[in-house]
Structure 1
């Protein structure tokens, strides 16, 4: 009998708070590691968001430190302060109620392309995974700790799921933690590969067939069962105590 992979076979159930902490740690390893910068929110569907707190780096975040906030940025549950740039997420979740999970950070290669004001092509399979539309938001109106600047950035994204924020960093959206993880990993790989090809004097021309690119563009980021689970298991091997605080 053929083995059919399912999330249940590959990973025990985890709570949304545990998912958020695991996502932060997994993405830190992928280059989303700009010190205290970066925010992740999970929409709870009741007017509140789970969020990583200010003052805790992503590689040390634990589920019990995750805070819950309302759409005005007030802490509803938790003992840590709200991240400074949270207005970007507040404005996003107000305008786009379909978004389940949002992640903003400043990875090296994604930020370099954002700084250059260019959207690199997906040059290989791994760089195209996760789907979603990638856009450049070059209307920099200030840091996203300002609600007006944050709303302008969100409005400039339109209906896209990924954005390079010129002079700032990246913004990745999805329906689930799995989707955001897949898209964020692929985005940084896309930006890294394109940078290396350009630095080597190569042409930024994809050899991927149009049928593949079209298929990937339509992906919701949830189809690659096993990828997210493997990265979660890596984090749990690195820190076996990570889920010790669960009830």
Structure 2
């Protein structure tokens, strides 16, 4: 049976591996597409993580390519190597075992603000969606395929939910695929729109009222139903082969 939205269910119920794939593909469209860079992990709650493989871009891998690894980065299930920067995720999941989803990549505008060592204001309501605390981690200690550099970055991030990594990229945390997607999209939109406002000679301070910004910051990212679901439908609609892969693996 093909996946089709209904009034009761905007998307089919997805397996954890399918969520990883659809997050990667949907985020690729949203600017998280620095070639082979980037990693997504999902905490399975049993000391293992699901993650995307190394050597495949986010727009091309399928649910059969998803890896299961332990907290030392050893592949338990799957036929690909782990991403080179996976130590960043391992350090974060060890330090914060309650974290469910983590994404790291080098989107263009988020990376630029990290390079500037500045947190951009949210100039418009869409840029403020998703909630969470955004911090700057500006102590570059090397590529995060180094366990030492990864641990230092995670320690500097503290309990924040989003980080601009100076000289590197971004890191986003969410409790669900829906929350992670919304936060990651809003972060890149925030970074892009802030760059455009500054380029146009606009103000350094956002016109959004403090009460709105504070309310949005307290959100866990799960309240915007339909945003993630629309992205899932778009990926399945535009890539019928992906839908067939999912159906085949489900038997």
TM-score range normalised by the length of the shorter chain: over 0.9
Q: Give the aligned partner of residue 23 of structure 1.
A: 23
- Alpha-carbon displacement from aligned partner over 1:12-59 (angstroms, at most 9, x marks no partner): 111010010000000000000000000000000000000000000001
| Cα pair 1:134 1:160 within 8 Å, conserved | yes
Offset at residue 241 of structure 1 (A): 2.1
1:121, distance to aligned residue in structure 2 (A): 0.6
User: How many Å separate the matches in 1 of 2:28 and 2:98?
Assistant: 26
Is structure 2 residue 25 aligned with structure 1 residue 37? no
Q: Which runs of 5+ in 2 are unaligned?
A: 1-5
1:212 partnered with 2:212: yes
How far the C-alpha of 1:7 sits from its partner, in A, is 9.7
SS of the residue aligned with 1:9? coil
Is the contact made by 1:7 and 1:229 (CA closer than 8 Å) also made in structure 2? no
Q: Determine helix, strand or coil for the equivalent of 1:10.
A: coil
d(CA) in 1 for partners of 2:30, 2:204: 23
1:207 to partner: Cα distance: 1.3
Show the 5 A alignment for 1:96-245.
Answer: 96-245=96-245
Which ranges in structure 1 are unaligned for 5 or more consecutive residues?
1-5
Q: Per-residue deviation at 1:8?
A: 5.4
Corresponding residue pairs, total: 243
- Measure how far apart 1:203 and its partner are: 1.1
Deviations 1:197-243 (A, max 9, x none): 11111112211122211110100011000000001101111102213
Report the equivalent of 2:3: none
Between the aligned partners of 1:151 and 1:90, the Cα distance in structure 2 is 9
Q: Is the 8 A contact 1:133 1:217 kept in 2?
A: yes
Relative to structure 1, the CA distance from residue 43 to residue 7 in structure 2 (aligned partners, 3 Å threshold; closer, same or farther) is farther
CA contact (8 A) 1:7 1:226 kept: no
For residues 43 and 229 of structure 1, the distance between their equivalents in structure 2, rounded to whole angstroms, comes to: 21
Q: With structure 1 as the length reference, what TM-score do the two structures score? A: 0.96
Q: Which residue of 2 aligns with 1:76?
A: 76
Write out per-residue CA displacement over residues 141-174 of structure 1, whole angstroms, 9 at most, x where no aligned residue. Answer: 1100000110000000010000000000000001
Deviates more, 1:232-241 or 1:80-89: 232-241
CA shift in 2, pair 1:8/1:57, >3 Å: farther
Q: Is the 8 A contact 1:63 1:243 kept in 2?
A: no
Deviation readout 1:88-117 (Å, 9 max, x if unpaired) = 000000000111000000000000000010
Looking at structure 1, the residues matched to 211 and 168 of structure 2 have their Cα atoms a distance apart, in angstroms, of 33
